[in-house]
Amino acid sequence: MESSSQDRNLPASQRKLNKAKGDGQVARSRDLSHLAVLGGGAVAVMTLAPILFDQLKLGLSQQLSFDVKAVLQPSTMMGRLQDMTITGLAGCAIFAAIVMAASILSAIGSGGWVASLKPIVPDFSRLNPISGLGRLFTKEKFSEVGKMALIMLVLIVLGGMYLRSGLQPIASLTMQPSQAAIQALNEWLKAGMGLLLLVILLVAGIDVPLQNFLHASRLKMSHQEVKQEQKESEGSPQMKGRLRQRQREISHGNSIGAVARADFVVMNPTHFAVAIRYDEKTMRAPQVISKGADLLAMKIRDIAKSNSIPVLQSPVLARALYANAELDQDIPSSLYTAVAQVLAYVYRLKSALRGEGPMPGEQPVPFVPPELDPLHQTEPDANQP
């Protein structure tokens, strides 16, 4: 079930922003592009026009000059015409390059660089006239039309006021020398172009943050979409649980080589085996250096026996250590007493085997807090009805 637009009140995640950018969906301001094209074109014209006019004036003077050489060799006229053509084309190419660079830089400045072919891939669903009519009557289209109408109204009003204020001075130019009249007309046109660019600059200054806001609004997500994205990126809880279980199994399997360094191994006869090591010089408390279940437990037992390491049967302690102790970490403090009892028994046993003391009595039954025994936690309370 898809979330309605009213439910989408959460900002877009970075993953969704990256996906939208990969699809070519970024915030673009048309008004900024208009400003760049008009401004770049105006700067290019004002910069290139004097140079181009000088070159054209020189070429035209050459074309209109005839001498004996031109009469005897008509091909020189074609060479002059070719030079003028190259000059004109070079000027047009430079002008087009400046305007194109300004347009590209404005697009990159508003939405960043996007390397995607999806925006230009044909979408035949857009050929449906019914859906096309539906796209014409949207809030975004109405806001775009309203904005363009407002801009046009402002330009018409300002243009009319500018023309009205300059009509009398322009009319009086006919009474002035041609060079002064052309200079005054040039200044009047520059001022008009500057006023036009100022209006578009103000509009672009409003439109750029507006387009960023609208783009972020279009990409907002609902709580359900956020949960679904997290599930897709991180995996379902069941999958993560199986992955952690597999990682633990691999970790336990890799710890088999450490069994030979253990002081003793405590087992729940066939299900669990835990290897314990304690060095009072380097350790604050005994540590579990290897543990395993089922076949891995049998493997730990066999390695311990082959290395003459005592293997003791203590089901409750084995289960508690297996469930609550981490590899190469100190055992839980609540199990210190139980492990200390077993360690004392192991030390006496090793001394007796070396002939340094009598054999110890029966193996002690260490006390393990019931809450640390997984089997005890799963058994129902006998006092419950």
What is the full DSSP assignment across 50-110?
HHHHHHHHHHHHHHT---HHHHH-THHHHHHHHHHHHHHHHHHHHHHHHHHHHHHHHHHHH
pLDDT in tens, the chain (385 residues): 444 444 667 777 677 767 766 666 677 777 777 777 777 777 777 777 677 767 766 766 666 666 666 666 767 777 777 877 887 788 788 888 888 888 788 777 666 666 666 656 666 566 666 666 666 666 667 777 887 788 788 878 888 888 888 878 877 777 766 667 767 776 777 787 778 778 777 877 777 777 777 777 777 777 777 777 766 665 556 656 665 665 555 555 567 778 888 999 999 877 889 999 998 888 889 999 888 888 888 888 999 999 999 999 999 999 999 889 888 889 999 999 999 999 999 999 888 888 888 888 888 888 888 888 887 755 454 444 3
Strand duo 264-268 + 311-313: pairing: parallel
Residue 219, class by beta-carbon neighbours within 10 Å (0-12 exposed, 13-18 middle, 19+ buried)?
A: middle
pLDDT score of 84: 76
Structure-token pair, residue 246:
């597999």
pLDDT score of 2: 44
Residue 220, class by beta-carbon neighbours within 10 Å (0-12 exposed, 13-18 middle, 19+ buried)?
A: middle
Sign of the Cα torsion 82, 84, 88, 93 reads positive
Q: How far apart are CA 352 and CA 354, in angstroms?
A: 5
Q: How far apart are CA 365 and CA 316, in angstroms?
A: 9
pLDDT score of 15: 72
Please tell me whether the overall predicted TM-score, pTM, comes out greater than 0.85 for this model: no
The segment(s) of the chain belonging to CATH 3.40.1690.10 are 244-378
pLDDT score of 383: 43
pLDDT score of 197: 76
Q: How many CB atoms lie within 10 A of CB 280?
A: 8
Eight-state DSSP code of residue 12: P
Q: How far apart are CA 168 and CA 165, in angstroms?
A: 7
pLDDT score of 126: 61
Q: What is the residue type of 241?
A: G
Sheet holding 311-313, edge to edge: 287-293, 272-277, 264-268, 311-313
Alpha helices in the chain (DSSP H): 14-22, 30-63, 68-72, 75-111, 129-136, 139-171, 178-218, 223-234, 237-254, 295-306, 315-324, 336-353, 374-378
pLDDT score of 334: 92
Superfamily, domain 244-378 = secretion proteins EscU (3.40.1690.10)
Instruction: Find how far residue 297's CA is from the centre of its chain.
Output: 45
